[in-house]
Structures are given as C-alpha cells and as structure tokens.
C-alpha cells in the first residue's frame, strides 16, 4: 500500500527538476467564460470568541454549497481469447470453440467525489483527480438531490484543482476566506460525501500549514494539514473555518491499512485554488511566472556563512543566463526574503509565490547581498518548456503536445534555460519531457519528467515536432525510445521499450 493516497473512490495515488522555480506546470483550459463573482471575507477569524455548544448553524449555512460529483468513464475492451483455442492439437480434438462474438464492448466505470459551489452562477471547485479522465460528470445539489450535467472549464494537474460549470443561477455559493490568515490550532470542519453514505461533517483543527514534499502528489504542494476526518469520497469537498468560510479543498489523506482516515488529511488552500480558478476561467493561454534562478534552502551552516539572523529565505545558488533574474541583476549568493511583500521561508515557498505571478508582471524582490538589504523589480517571463491553453493539449502539432504513440506524455523543445538548468551538453539534442501521466504506458516503461528524448525507433529527435512525427509514424506494438537523463551529479543515456498499443480510456 502506498504511503499517500488521494481520497477518492477507486483512485489511490516525479522526478522533480533540480530547481523548484523551474519545475514545469501543466494547465488545461477550454474556451473562455465570464469571471465568476465570489463572496470573499478576508478578515482573520475571531480567535477570542467563545465556542458554542453546537456547530449546527455553521453547517446549515455551508452544507448547501457542497455538492456530490458522480463521474463515469466508458472503457472499451474485447473479450479475452483463451490461448488454447489457437493450439492445433486442441482444435483437432475439440474443434473450433472460439467465441462467435468477438466484438468490442464498452464497460462503465463510475466514481464519486465532492465539490464546492463558489459562485451563484454555477462555478464549482473540486479536485482534479475527481474528474480526470471522466467521460460524463453529474453534479447533485441539495436535499432534493437535483442533478445537473457539468462541463469541465479547466483542470490543473500541478495543483490538483479542477473547475466545473453547471447551467444554473441563484445557487448557494460559499464565502471564501483568506487562507493565508490560517494558524495552526484553528478549528475547521470538513464537509463531503465519504464512501457515498451521504453528506457528512467532521471537525478538527489545522494541524500544519505549508505541507510539501509528499510523495505521489501534485507538483505545487502547499497543503493545509488537518485531523478532521477525510475519507474516500470527500475529495473535492470543503474545508471551512469556524465562521463557515471556505479555507481549502480537501484532496488527500495518509490512509490506515484499510485505506481509511487516521487523522492526517490535506487540503489545497483556497487562495491557491482561487488563483487557478481565475486563470482557468479566463481561458486562452495560461502560463506561470518564471524568475530563472536555482534556489536552495538555508541551513544553519549557510546562515552562519552568509551572516544571516535565521534560516528564513531562499539562497540563490545559480542564475540562468539571459533569464529575468539575470537581466535585472540578481546574483548567485543573494538571499531572497520576499516577493511582492510575501515572506519567503525557503526555496519551495519561492517556487509557489513566483508560480502564482503572471508572466509579464513586475515582481518586487527584497533580498540580502553581502549583508545589505536590497530591492529589485523584475519583470517575469513565462515558465519555459511548456505553453498550455485551449488547444495545446489536443493539437499534436504544437510545440508542447501529447504525442499519439506515447499517449500521456507531454513534450516541448529544449530551450537554453532548461539546457542550462539540466546541464545538457551542447552536443545533445532532443525533446524534453514536461509531463508523464502516471497511468500511461510510458510511465510503466520508466519514462520520467525531465527526460530528454533523443531517439525514437533509432531515428534522431531534435525537438518536439520530431518526437510527435516519429511517434505518429510508429506502427509496431513496441517502440524503442532512447533518453538522456540526469540524476544528481550523473548523466547518461538509456533505452526504454514502450507499449504502443493504445490503453483504453
């Protein structure tokens, strides 16, 4: 059993880049929709207020905003043929007993999750893994269980956030809190539909903030940890504070040996989820901000060497040539303390903060250089290596595309920044792997994010277009993929044999 799991029926859950800020994200967005109107209350919770004897008033206020999500996948498959039926000796004695009907059949796979209404006109936040791969999505609302067909506005695998839309008005939208105001020890309620038993409410506290580094999870991790019981079916549901304001979207648990809750659950902070929602709804090209440095955490030894008062901040280990940071004058050895006024605790928090800035925006960076406090205003670029939008995922001719033969793989051209980051020799050409579906044939074969595909079926690959072309041309059941890979201080090539028979979806 895996240590970590997504809290979702039938779905239990990277090689990360050497530099957190340069880790590649993958957004998917369809169309352009009007921006939803939120109810937002950013004031901190009143921690001096006496707790009442019942949370019923809060639950009555919030529960109508939490919905059930039913997903269906249609999986095509053919009946299995017994290999004995092909044996000449068997056929001599028993005749041709092959099944007369070998037609392709469709099997339905159904799952259950939760979601939260965030606007009166039908926008719903949920977890990406609740709806990922679904062919049909139904949303059930309220005590009368009125059912709507939902469409996916967008999904962000990197944060495990998805946005749905139903055609309805005057819906009971939840009020959004400012999750940055949360403190460890604050009371929270988790609302969802665990195990399909019906809407349920559990109580706990905020056990931790800014949790990251959890194996098997999405790339941008900044989880709220809680001991409020979160079980399968709760994924995508609401985590609310003592005033009934939404502070997070429930997404995962550390399960016990039976797959249930043991008091360690995680939620995506609403500030992060809202940032993703607004960008997905706006449609078009969606990109993350890019600074272009190799940051690292500060330990006690480094703090002493750089004469720092504590270990807060992100040390600039390297600056990528011609990247925004280099152009603005940021240098190796600088210690970044804040971005746009938001304190930076470590390299991971720098990654998160920069990722939520729009390309082309000006980021105010406060840092220490040789013991002197300084400030730079840096105009961010778009995160290199991937460009996502309404057409990118479905169009195999774009520079960042999902190759047909390597279904589930996203590739991009190798630009100078990524070449410098991964220290790829100038003599090595190829297409960089920016994303690999964990359930794909390529993942089974061992293909990893940041692998550089240099050959397909012994034909050279010089960029993403070559990778797409050679994959589409591959006819055999297996294709031979040669990759260049860096692991720590070692780098080299290896061969992978990838199953080229399309996995049913």
DSSP code per residue over 407-419: TTEEEEE--HHHH
Q: Are residues 237 and 139 in the same domain?
A: yes
User: Which residues have a catalytic role annotated?
Assistant: 129, 160, 235
Nearest alpha-carbon partner for 228 in 274, 267, 269 = 267
The total number of residues shown for the chain amounts to: 505
Q: Round to whole Å and give the CA distance between 132 and 268.
A: 17
Between 195 and 119, where is the model more confident? 119
Cβ neighbourhood burial of 363 (10 Å; 0-12, 13-18, 19+): buried
Domain assignment present for residue 75? The answer is: no
Q: Are residues 236 and 375 in the same domain?
A: no
Looking at mean pLDDT, say which of 219-223, 280-284, 351-355, 394-398 comes out highest: 351-355
Of 173-177, 203-207, 314-318, 411-415, least confident by mean pLDDT is 411-415
Domain assignment present for residue 396? The answer is: no
Q: Are residues 209 and 350 in the same domain?
A: no
User: Given pLDDT bands bounded at 50, 70 and 90, which one contains residue 461?
Assistant: very high
Domain assignment present for residue 93? The answer is: no
Q: Are residues 202 and 319 in the same domain?
A: no
pLDDT given for residue 343 in this prediction? 92
Q: Round to whole Å and give the CA distance between 38 and 351.
A: 27
Residue 375 has pLDDT above 90, yes or no: yes
pLDDT given for residue 233 in this prediction? 77
Q: Are residues 129 and 268 in the same domain?
A: yes
Structure tokens belonging to residue 5: 């799991």
Please say which residue of 253, 281, 309 terminates a domain: 281
Domain assignment present for residue 376? The answer is: yes
Helix (H) or strand (E) holding 364: strand 362-369
| Residue 466: φ, ψ to 5° | -60, -45
Q: Are residues 245 and 324 in the same domain?
A: no
Domain that holds residue 418: 401-499
Of 55-64, 399-408, 418-427, 428-437, least confident by mean pLDDT is 399-408
Q: Round to whole Å and give the CA distance between 18 and 59.
A: 44
Q: Round to whole Å and give the CA distance between 335 and 146.
A: 54
Structure tokens belonging to residue 204: 């706990």
pLDDT given for residue 384 in this prediction? 66
Number of domains in the chain: 3
Mean pLDDT score, 476-496: 80
Please say which residue of 337, 352, 382 terminates a domain: 382
Q: Round to whole Å and give the CA distance between 100 and 36.
A: 55
pLDDT given for residue 19 in this prediction? 26
Residue range 203-244, pLDDT digits in tens: 999 998 988 877 666 677 888 999 888 877 788 989 999 889
Of 133-142, 379-388, 395-404, least confident by mean pLDDT is 395-404
pLDDT given for residue 394 in this prediction? 32
Q: Are residues 327 and 408 in the same domain?
A: no
Q: Are residues 271 and 340 in the same domain?
A: no
Q: What percent of the chain has pLDDT over 70?
A: 77
Q: Are residues 336 and 232 in the same domain?
A: no
Mean pLDDT score, 471-487: 83
Residue 498 has pLDDT above 90, yes or no: no
Average pLDDT along the chain: 78
Mean pLDDT score, 444-461: 89
Domain assignment present for residue 351? The answer is: yes
User: Given pLDDT bands bounded at 50, 70 and 90, which one contains residue 125?
Assistant: very high
Classify residue 383 by its DSSP letter. P
**What is the b/e burial string over 296-308, where b = at least 16 CB atoms within 10 angstroms of the residue's CB?**
bbbeeeebeebeb
Q: Are residues 361 and 486 in the same domain?
A: no
Residue range 21-45, pLDDT digits in tens: 222 233 344 445 667 777 777 777 7
Looking at mean pLDDT, say which of 90-99, 145-154, 380-389 comes out highest: 145-154
- Which residues lie across from 293 on neighbouring strands? 319
Between 14 and 497, where is the model more confident? 497
Residue 296 is part of a domain; what is its CATH number? 2.30.42.10
Q: Are 16 and 292 in contact (CB under 8 A)?
A: no
Helix (H) or strand (E) holding 454: strand 452-456
Please say which residue of 331, 353, 382 terminates a domain: 382
Structure tokens belonging to residue 285: 């090209």
Q: Round to whole Å and give the CA distance between 459 and 447.
A: 18
Residue range 130-181, pLDDT digits in tens: 888 888 899 988 776 788 999 998 888 888 889 999 998 899 999 998 988 8
pLDDT given for residue 324 in this prediction? 92
Q: Are residues 455 and 367 in the same domain?
A: no
Between 219 and 341, where is the model more confident? 341
pLDDT given for residue 325 in this prediction? 92
**What is the b/e burial string over 163-187, where b = at least 16 CB atoms within 10 angstroms of the residue's CB?**
bbbbeeeebebbbbbbbeebeeebb
Domain assignment present for residue 240? The answer is: yes
Q: Are residues 235 and 295 in the same domain?
A: no
Residue 340 has pLDDT above 90, yes or no: yes
Residue 444 has pLDDT above 60, yes or no: yes
Domain assignment present for residue 394? The answer is: no
Domain assignment present for residue 378? The answer is: yes
| Residue 63: φ, ψ to 5° | -50, -40
Q: Round to whole Å and give the CA distance between 495 and 207.
A: 45
Structure tokens belonging to residue 479: 């294709």
């Amino acid at each position: 059993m895996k240590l970590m799991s997504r809290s979702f029926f039938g779905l239990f859950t990277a090689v990360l880049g050497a530099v957190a800020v340069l880790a590649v994200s993958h957004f998917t967005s369809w169309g352009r929709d009007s921006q939803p109107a939120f109810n937002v209350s950013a004031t901190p919770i009143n921690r001096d207020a006496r707790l009442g004897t019942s949370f019923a008033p809060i639950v009555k206020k919030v529960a109508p905003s939490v919905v059930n999500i039913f997903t269906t996948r249609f999986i095509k498959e053919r009946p299995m043929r017994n290999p004995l039926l092909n044996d000449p000796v068997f056929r001599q004695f028993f005749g041709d007993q092959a099944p007369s009907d070998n037609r392709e059949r469709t099997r339905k796979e159904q799952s259950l999750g939760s979601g939260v209404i965030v606007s009166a006109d039908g926008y719903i936040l949920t977890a990406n893994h609740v709806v990922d791969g679904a062919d049909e999505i139904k949303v059930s609302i309220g005590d009368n269980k009125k059912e709507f067909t939902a469409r996916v506005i967008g999904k962000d695998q990197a944060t495990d956030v998805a946005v749905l839309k139903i055609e309805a008005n005057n819906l009971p939208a939840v009020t959004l809190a400012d999750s940055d105001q949360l403190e460890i020890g604050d009371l929270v309620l988790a609302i969802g539909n665990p195990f399909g038993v019906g809407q349920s409410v559990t109580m706990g506290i905020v056990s931790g903030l800014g949790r990251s580094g959890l194996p098997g999870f999405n790339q941008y991790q900044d989880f709220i940890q809680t001991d409020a019981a979160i079980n399968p079916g709760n994924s995508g549901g609401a985590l609310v504070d003592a005033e009934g304001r939404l502070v997070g979207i429930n997404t995962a648990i550390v399960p016990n040996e039976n797959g249930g809750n043991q008091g360690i659950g995680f939620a995506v902070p609403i500030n992060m989820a809202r940032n993703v929602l607004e960008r997905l709804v706006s449609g078009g090209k969606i990109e993350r901000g890019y600074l272009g440095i190799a940051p690292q955490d500060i330990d006690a030894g480094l703090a002493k060497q750089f004469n720092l008062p504590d270990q807060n901040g992100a040390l600039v280990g390297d600056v990528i040539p011609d990247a925004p940071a280099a152009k603005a004058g940021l240098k190796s050895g600088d210690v970044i303390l804040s971005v746009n006024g938001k304190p930076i605790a470590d390299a991971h928090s720098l990654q998160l903060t920069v990722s939520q800035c729009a390309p082309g925006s000006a980021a105010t960076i406060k840092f220490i250089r040789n013991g002197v406090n300084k400030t730079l205003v840096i105009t961010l670029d778009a995160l290199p290596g991937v460009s996502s939008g309404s057409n990118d995922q479905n169009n195999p001719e774009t520079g960042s595309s999902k190759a047909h033969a390597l279904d589930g793989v996203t590739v991009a051209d190798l630009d100078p920044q990524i070449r410098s980051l991964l220290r790829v020799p100038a003599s090595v050409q190829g297409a960089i792997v920016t994303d690999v579906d964990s359930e794909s044939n390529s993942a089974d074969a061992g293909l990893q994010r940041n692998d550089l595909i240099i050959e397909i079926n012994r034909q050279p690959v010089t960029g993403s277009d070559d990778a797409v072309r050679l994959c589409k041309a591959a006819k055999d059941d297996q294709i031979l993929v040669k990759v260049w890979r860096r692991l720590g201080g070692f780098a080299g090539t290896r061969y992978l044999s990838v199953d080229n028979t399309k996995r049913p979806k």
